[in-house]
Amino acid sequence: MGIEIERKFLVSGEGWRQPASRQTRFSQGYLSRDPARTVRVRLAGERAFLTIKGATRGATRAEFEYELPPADAQQLLALCDGPVVEKIRHLCAFDGMTWEVDEFLGANAGLLVAEIELQSEDQAFSRPPWLGEEVTGDARYVNANLAVTPYTGW
């Protein structure tokens, strides 16, 4: 079984842009937004994925991801429940770790969220100076929820 251990933080200021290296545009939608099991379709640049995630417990959840032909993903996005979430993901290195900074677009424009994937929930990591408040447990920042209750409407 695949496991994802992830912590999420708001981003403060523009300091994250300096260490940002690669960026990828994402379009993602949800075939199921049930908190017990989300099913996501994602176009990530030239690649596409179907991802199934289990319920979150702390910062951990089951995760299974499968690559799809991009044409299939385009058709599946049309079947999704709610609007598609658009964002640009920037990879930022800091103190030996890779942070993913999501710069949301469209109805979620203005939202910047940094995520770090860990090997265990208690793994230590250094906080970059541009890291703001932790929102790991705040359901408003779950992408499946941002699809139907966008940031600009809060």
Residues annotated as catalytic are 30
Give the chain's largest Cα–Cα span. Answer: 41
| Helix, strand, or coil (residue 16) | helix
**DSSP state, residue 88:** E
- Other residues' Cβ atoms within 10 Å of the Cβ of residue 128: 21
CB contact at 8 A, 29 and 41: yes
CA distance 123 to 87: 28
Please state, in angstroms and rounded to a whole number, the distance separating the CA atoms of residues 16 and 19: 6
